[in-house]
Amino acid sequence: MSKVKIYTWADKAPEFLYKQYETIKKFVKDDDWEFIVFNNVPAPKLDRQEKIKKICKELGVKCLDVRFRTFVSGAAQICAWGIHWAYHRFFRWEKDTIHVIFDSDMFFIKDFNFNEFLGDNHICALHQRRGDIEYLWNGIVIMRGGELPDKKYFDYRLGDINGERTDVGGRLYYWMKRNPDLKIRYMMHTGHLDVSKSAMLPEKVRDGYKPEYRFQFIENVVLHYRAGSNWDKKSKDFVDTKKAYFNELLDELLYNEGQINEAPELYSCKE
């Protein structure tokens, strides 16, 4: 069995680290795993950088500063650079290691074994598409980074490709084209929970859900808050209300034996 390293990139919502680490400890079932936080705050936001370091010290987890080679601005660009830098600085050199990219607003709600899920695939992730450009979403990625083919072409940055404006990970299109025999396991997910899917939620907390929260379930084991950095510029009242409901939902699933109603017809693996 391979060692598992679970990485998250913390920036605008470092308070998520507490609950995220708690769910990792509770539900990750690999024998040998480690949780590592990349401090993805670009200069000059020193107060936020220090807050992340303080939380990591409190939790007893490793915290590494992302090195920004040049000035990077914009949420997507900062996110993309952090992943791209980490892969080429660390992941690609480590053998017999499963590397997990795990968004800072994702939380486990059921037992999960990364070794079993990855199996003999090269990589597991959610399918992403912009027009005819297909690539892998960055929210959750499972791979043996040191054993991927054509590692120097592995690029999680974004850009304009054949006239399509891609999001984080768009440049993986070129790597995937170079390696048509890649064994990719596309992960099943609900998309965002609208009215038609909210019946999946535990009955006790279902009535409080609003479709504009846009939560997401992945493989029935991960709950995704979505827009944890508030990149979509919601009001403070909205964010506070959303976080309060999310905490209520997560507590129901973690401590009160609440169950999601698994509905396979609401899941898809490719857009």
Torsions phi, psi for 61 (to 5 deg):
-115, 155
Q: Which stretch of 19-23, 69-73, 112-116, 227-231 has the lowest confidence by average pLDDT?
A: 69-73
Section 48-66 average pLDDT? 96
Q: How confident is the model at residue 234 (pLDDT cuts 50, 70, 90)?
A: confident
pLDDT for 268 equals: 76
**Secondary structure (DSSP) of 48-87:** HHHHHHHHHHHHT-EEEE---SS---SHHHHHHHHHHHHH
The model's pTM is: 0.94
Torsions phi, psi for 99 (to 5 deg):
-105, 130
Round to whole Å and give the CA distance between 223 and 215: 7
Section 234-252 average pLDDT? 92
Is residue 192's pLDDT more than 90? no
Is residue 170's pLDDT more than 70? yes
pLDDT in tens, 10-28: 998 999 999 999 999 999 9
pLDDT for 60 equals: 98
The token pair that represents 126 in the structure block = 């959610």
Average pLDDT, the chain: 91
Is residue 106's pLDDT more than 90? yes
